[in-house]
């Protein structure tokens, strides 16, 4: 059974060929735009980062699953790249798109809930079911700075799952947090580019470590705090995850 939340897909529309949702209007295809955004933001073929690792760790906790991914879909290269992967074999950083459930999320721009992939005609022929024993999937879209759906934050299990409404809300909130983090990343890269174009005397002196201070009046970080507050309330005893520790 598959449930898709978000923009409706007509019965006659194949999820594998559904149009990617993108607000951009240009001569480039949506696939070209997304590939350019992913590379400009250094989200492909780049080292693992603790910020993304925290998201997959939280997914495993919230959905009670052994596997969680931050997956970015590159249609032009026919692959999905894992910026963070918890529960996969060491060294596995990407797969072909014929082994991707996240591809459906990027094409629909909607949450995808799969209770039992073996009995669902939309994903039942995915080789990953036999190769890795993936049976259930819950994924929410990750968007780029201009609204392009770049990939999915997802939970996977090796047994059938009846995903609860709370789990769906938590995964969606976390995916929105990833989207917000990417927006901050985009702003930081734009700031660095602008600063590099300035004469040295006009450049901002950064504190040790290379980070800059965030203006608390900036509108971008606010949704992050709100979403993590909701997630915090869902953790046992109101606990909060910091780094590798869960602290009450």
Select from 53, 41, 51 the least CA-distant residue to 187. Answer: 41
What pLDDT digit, counting tens, does each position of 121-161 carry? Answer: 889 999 999 999 999 999 999 999 888 899 999 999 999 99
3-state helix, strand, coil in the chain (%, to 5): 40, 20, 40
Structural element, H or E, at residue 195: helix 165-196
**Answer CATH for 2-184 from 1.10.490.10, 3.90.1170.50, 3.30.450.40, 3.40.930.10:** 3.30.450.40
Among 50-54, 118-122, 158-162, 187-191, the minimum mean pLDDT is found in 187-191
Sign of CA dihedral 57, 59, 61, 65: negative
Region 35-54 average pLDDT: 89
Residues 6+ apart with CB under 8 A from 154: 59, 68, 69, 71, 101, 102, 105, 137, 138, 139, 140, 171
Please indicate, yes or no, whether the overall pTM of this predicted structure exceeds 0.85.
no
Supply the mean pLDDT for the chain. 77
Backbone angles phi, psi at 189, to 5 degrees: -65, -40
Tokens representing residue 184 in the block: 């901050």
Tally of residues, the chain: 248
Q: How high is the pLDDT of residue 15?
A: 42
For the chain, the structural domain boundaries read 2-184
Separation between Cα atoms, residue 39 and residue 161, nearest integer Å: 34
Q: Does pLDDT of 69 surpass 80?
A: yes
- The total of other beta-carbon atoms located within 10 Å of residue 246's CB is 15
Helices (H) and strands (E) in the chain, counts: 6, 9
Task: Answer with the residue of higher pLDDT: 234 or 35.
Answer: 35
Read off the pLDDT band of 59 (50, 70, 90): very high
Q: How high is the pLDDT of residue 32?
A: 78
Task: Answer with the residue of higher pLDDT: 202 or 64.
Answer: 64
Separation between Cα atoms, residue 172 and residue 168, nearest integer Å: 6
Contact between 136 and 117 under an 8 Å Cβ cutoff? The reply is yes
């Amino acid at each position: 059974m598959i449930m898709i939340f978000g923009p409706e897909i007509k019965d006659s529309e194949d999820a594998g060929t559904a149009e990617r949702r993108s607000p951009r209007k240009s001569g480039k295809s949506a696939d070209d735009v997304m590939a350019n955004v992913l590379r400009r933001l250094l989200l492909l073929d780049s080292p693992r980062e603790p910020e993304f690792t925290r998201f997959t760790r939280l997914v495993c906790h919230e959905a009670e699953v052994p596997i969680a991914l931050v997956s970015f879909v590159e249609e032009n290269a026919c692959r999905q790249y894992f910026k963070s992967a918890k529960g996969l074999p060491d060294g596995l950083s990407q797969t072909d798109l014929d082994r991707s459930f996240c591809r459906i999320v990027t094409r629909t721009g909607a949450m995808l809930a799969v209770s039992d992939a073996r009995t669902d005609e939309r994903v039942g022929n995915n080789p990953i079911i036999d190769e890795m024993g993936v049976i259930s999937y819950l994924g929410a879209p990750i968007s780029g700075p201009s609204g392009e759906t770049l990939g999915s934050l997802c939970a996977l299990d090796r047994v059938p799952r009846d995903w609860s409404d709370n789990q769906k809300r938590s995964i969606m909130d976390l995916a929105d947090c990833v989207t917000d983090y990417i927006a901050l990343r985009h702003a930081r890269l734009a700031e660095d580019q602008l600063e590099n174009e300035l004469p040295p005397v006009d450049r901002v002196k950064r504190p040790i470590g290379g980070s800059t201070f965030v203006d608390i009046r900036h509108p971008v970080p606010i949704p992050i705090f709100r979403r993590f507050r909701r997630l915090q309330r869902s953790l046992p005893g109101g606990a909060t995850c910091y780094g590798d520790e869960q602290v009450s």
